[in-house]
Amino acid sequence: MSTAREQPIFSTRAHVFQIDPATKRNWIPAGKHALTVSYFYDATRNVYRIISIGGAKAIINSTVTPNMTFTKTSQKFGQWADSRANTVYGLGFASEQHLTQFAEKFQEVKEAARLAREKSQDGGELTSPALGLASHQVPPSPLVSANGPGEEKLFRSQSADAPGPTERERLKKMLSEGSVGEVQWEAEFFALQDSNNKLAGALREANAAAAQWRQQLEAQRAEAERLRQRVAELEAQAASEVTPASEKEGPGQGQSLEQLEALVQTKDQEIQTLKSQTGGPREAPEAAEREETQQKVQDLETRNAELEHQLRAMERSLEEARAERERARAEVGRAAQLLDVRLFELSELREGLARLAEAAP
């Protein structure tokens, strides 16, 4: 059979199934991957064939007759019975659109085969007016593919011999008993396997993400606990630093900042009093008393300066402790907020995993 004699008029890709000849109830897949399924027109014999090649073997070699019927058993699966080949073919498509295109082309080819048979019986010229598409008929033309370019390399095989009436009756009985409806579930099983594999992969990814989130959550909890301990240490340190180190000198140990300020003010008043006494007129001042008074004034001034220095040091230390405590509190607040966000995300992830588990068959 030459290329000019038989031309491809339509091509698509689908998963090919064939009825089990032993049980007549189960589907046998032709392979793990989708195959090219094509309509061919033989201009010499004026017949149409559906051909699919797997490797070097013809998986489908079905001559279309007016008595054939293509049945859509689901949104992506269709089948037809070939009495000559004594089998039932099933096709699983990637989308409902591809199934619709194949079914429409089947009707066109079936009508063209019917008209060709009528003209042949009437002795008329063998033509195929039912297709109504010049680019799909005898003159060589590029392959029309439902899946785009790249599907031009096709093969052809000889038609199977026609079976006897007993085999036809057995095939019709098989169809009438509703076994095709059960066979449909077998085909749907292969379609669901791909979906289950995708769901299993998504579930594994979700489990890995959940484990990662758990690790991050544990790390955040440890960081929050460390920050809480740090805040407690800073608060204890700030409380212990309220008592100034200089209180070890003299009998005034344990005084607060307010007491130190009052003491400074008292000493200032004494200094002013002494200055006024030394500067005012005195009758018969004695040099020894003056020198003693001046010495007392100098001592009081020195003591006052030391107290002021200690007071400023205490104030700086207290401010630093307060600032450190505020920073620690801010860190704890940020860690708590981040912990809340992580907990919320983990809750959403668990809900997503639960939905995936419910959706999985």
pLDDT digits (tens, 9 = 90+) for 40-56: 998 888 889 999 988 78
Least-confidence region, from 130-144, 202-216, 320-334: 130-144
Question: Mean per-residue pLDDT for 259-270?
Answer: 82
Is 104 a domain residue? yes
Complete DSSP assignment for 160-220: PPPP-HHHHHHHHHHHHTTHHHHHHHHHHHHHHHHHHHHHHHHHHHHHHHHHHHHHHHHHH
Kindly state whether residue 220 falls inside one of the protein's structural domains: no
- What total number of domains does the chain contain? 1
SS3 content of the chain, % helix, strand, coil (to 5): 55, 15, 30
In a domain, 266, yes or no: no
Residue 53 domain-assigned (yes or no): yes
For 38, the token pair is 């094509």
Instruction: Report yes or no on 153 lying in a domain.
Output: no
pLDDT of residue 123: 60
CB of 18 within 8 A of CB of 35? no
Q: Does residue 30 sit within a domain?
A: yes
Provide, rounded to the nearest whole percent, the portion of the chain with pLDDT above 70: 71
CA angle 73, 77, 79 (to 5 degrees): 70
Q: Does residue 98 carry a pLDDT above 90?
A: yes
Asked, for residue 204, whether it belongs to a domain, the answer is: no
Comparing CA positions, the residue from 227, 233, 205 lying closest to residue 339 is 227
**Is 126 domain-assigned?**
no
The average pLDDT across 257-280 equals: 77
The pLDDT of residue 79 is above 50: yes
Query: Is pTM beyond 0.85 here?
Result: no
- Give yes or no for a contact between 128 and 41, defined as CB atoms under 8 angstroms apart: yes
With a cut of 50, say whether residue 361 has pLDDT above it.
yes
Among 3-7, 75-79, 87-91, 147-151, the range scoring the smallest mean pLDDT is 147-151
Start-to-end C-alpha separation, the chain: 49
pLDDT tens digits for range 111-120: 998 988 888 7
State the average pLDDT over residues 153-170: 46
Range of the domain at 72: 8-120
Tokens, residue 296: 């007392």
- Write the CATH number for 42: 2.30.29.30
